[in-house]
Structures are given as C-alpha cells and as structure tokens.
Amino acid sequence: MPVSTPRQTLNRLTIIVLIQWMGATLGLPLLALFLEHRGGSPHVIGLIVASFFVAGVVTQYFLGHLADKFGRRPILVVSLVAYGLASMTYALPLSALWFTLTRVVQGASAGALEVASMSAVAALFAEHERGGAISRLLAAQLMGVAIGPVVGVVASVNDLGWVFFATGVVSLVAALVAYHTNVGDRAYDPSPLAPLRWNRPFAGALVAASATGLAVGVYETCWSLLMHSHHASTLQIRLSWTMFALPFVLLSRAGGWIADHLNRRATALLGLLNGAAFLATYPHIHNNVAMLFLGSAESIGAALSSPSIASLLSQGAHTRELSRRQGLYATSTTASLALASVTSGFLFTVNAALPFTVVAVASSLLAVSTLFFWRGVTGRITASATPEAPSV
C-alpha cells in the first residue's frame, strides 16, 4: 500500500486536478475549428462536444461504485491513463466523427478522476477538516479552467492535435504519481458493498448540486450570447470568465475555513440564493464593465459556500460509500447542467432574459427546499464530536 500523509496526498491531488482541468480546457477555444477542419459539420461538432458530458452522466455513479468496491487508487490511475491515451488520438489523421469516441473516454475519465479525488479527501480528512481540504481541489478545478484556454491561445488550429498529445503525456506522468500515492484505500474487502445510506446531509447536497448545475448550464449556453447582445467586445467576454474564476481561486480557502468552523447549512443555503439572485439580475444590466465586476461578486459567494455543500455530501458517511456519494453528486450536477444547456438555448431565442429568470426561480426553489432536507442536521462540526447524521 503506498505511503503518503494526508497533506502530501492533498498536494499531489491538487496538482493532478489542476493539470487535468487545464489540459481539458487547453484547446477548447479552437476545438470546434479543429473538428471542422477534420470534416465535421455543425451537427457532428455538437455531438462530439456533448458526448463528453453524456459520458460523465452515464458513468460517474458506476465508477464510484467500483471505487468503493475495489479502491480509489485503481480508478484514479486507470482514469488518468485512459485520459492520456485518448488525448493522444487528436494527433492522429482521423476524421471528425472518430473523435466522438475520444470525447466519450475523456468525459468518463474526467468524471472518474473527480469522483476518486474528492472521495479520497473525504476518506483521509476528519469531518471537521474536510472543508479546507475540499476547497483546495475546487480551487484547482477552476484555476485549470481559467488558465487552460489562455495557455492554449499560443497554439494554432493545425498545432492543436499536438497540444492535446502533450497533455496526454502529462496525464500519463500524473498516473504514475497517483500509483504511488495513498488515497485512503483500505485492504481489499471481498464482502458485498452495503446499500447506500440516504441521510439528510447527503439528500440535501444532491438538491444543492442540481441547483448549481442548472445555473452553470445557463452560463455555458447563454452567457456569451447575453454579453454579445449587450454589444460586449470579444475581450470583455473573455475577461468575464477570468473575472469570475479569480475570486473563486483566491477565496476558496476562506470557504474551506467557513465549512470547518461555521454553520455549513446556513452557508450553503446563502450561497445558493446568492447565485440565483445574480442569475436573475444579469439580463437587466446593460453596462458590460459592471457585468465583469458583478461576476466577480457572484464568485465570492460561490467560493465561500461551495466547500460547505461538498462537506455536507460526505457528512456521516461510511468510508465504503464515499465514492458512490461523490458519483451521484457529480451525476446530479452534470445532468442538471445538460438539461439547462438544452432548454436555455431555446428560451434565449424567445427572450434574452427568459432562461436566466426561469433558472433563477428554479434554483431558488431548490435552495429553499434544502431547509427540509437538512432539518436536524448538525451545521457546525467540531473535532470532539462528529455526530451521526439523521436519516432522510
């Protein structure tokens, strides 16, 4: 069994997650053009891009089950190897349609990495320390998303295949590091897994994940369209994503401290309502500079509350169900994201404010419903007492 302290494991996983998300977004600004040069029509390109998310939705709980059964380390290593080899296929002289398989493997592998890394942190750190540890991984994800496209801007469409090839090599190196890292696995237990326990923190966290996914889906589809309708420049649109990412990265540790020392339930609820309020406000702001700073203000609320939601997910959980919980959480987020992405594009054609308003209302209702799911749940966790969470 590999030996590394929890802090060493957290440092390694933070770097691995950062590299994986940076590699995943490195070529995104040019991916559509790359696929077009390989003969892809707009419909084929849409299929290829969507296959990444579909693969995540379909496989994340199943991979979480395997991680609980056989250990997180095999899942983590295999996912990094699969992601690396899939990334290398971009350098092959293939037609666009073949890259659907590439994106499926990448999507499933990225989902497995998220499930294994987040559940590893939950297994290695006590409940009163998880918020700070989880915040590191959340910050790494968003930092990778923020800097990946910026780093990738130096590559041309013709070079993109080799850029992805290089990220594949890095992923294989990361797999080697993961193989020699303790991720909280115990000796293999051949006995059947016990059924997943549905306690209130877990159920409420899944509802919160759905609320978050809906909002992200609207932003993925309609944010750039909204800013363009307000006559924003390309630079302003690019900056808006960076302006959101930076406060999240800088304040995520503060969010972790809040999750470990203050009331997680209250923090999570306020964060969800904060996001819904900003979502409803954006269509009515026609000053693009103000939009940039409003995005940063929204990010502050997300950074301070996200570790609390993620900590509630594993509160009161047995070690052999952490990965399945994380798999369902990721599935809930990705499925609601996909739903919002599909519907918000149509709603935007009816009225630019409509998708933002509809999802803001839906997110608010989901946020308020957490009061029911989290009733009786201990919001403040101390080192001396980590009580069993009440059942649903």
pLDDT digits 0-9 by tens, 290-317: 999 999 999 999 999 999 999 999 998 9
Query: What fold is seen in the domain 6-179?
Result: Growth Hormone; Chain: A; (1.20.1250)
376 or 28, greater pLDDT: 376
Instruction: Please say if the pLDDT value at position 46 is more than 90.
Output: no
- Count CA atoms closer than 13 A to 58's CA, side-chain side: 12
* Average pLDDT of the segment spanning 140-148: 84
Give, in degrees to the nearest 5, the angle at Cα 325 between 252 and 201.
70
pLDDT digits 0-9 by tens, 317-358: 988 999 999 999 999 998 898 888 878 888 988 999 999 999
Q: What is the pLDDT of residue 28?
A: 65
Instruction: Please say if the pLDDT value at position 387 is more than 80.
Output: no
Q: Counting every residue, how long is the chain?
A: 392
Q: What is the pLDDT of residue 391?
A: 65
The model carries a pTM of 0.86
Q: How far apart are CA 246 and CA 302, in angstroms?
A: 12
CA quadruple 304, 117, 179, 57: dihedral sign? negative
pLDDT digits 0-9 by tens, 88-114: 999 999 898 899 999 999 989 999 999
Three-class DSSP category at 390: coil
pLDDT digits 0-9 by tens, 207-224: 999 999 999 989 878 888
* Average pLDDT of the segment spanning 43-62: 83
Give 197's DSSP letter.
P
* Maximum Cα–Cα distance across the chain: 62
Instruction: Please say if the pLDDT value at position 259 is more than 90.
Output: yes
**In the chain, domain spans:** 6-179, 200-373
* Average pLDDT of the segment spanning 181-210: 90
CATH node for 200-373: 1.20.1250.20
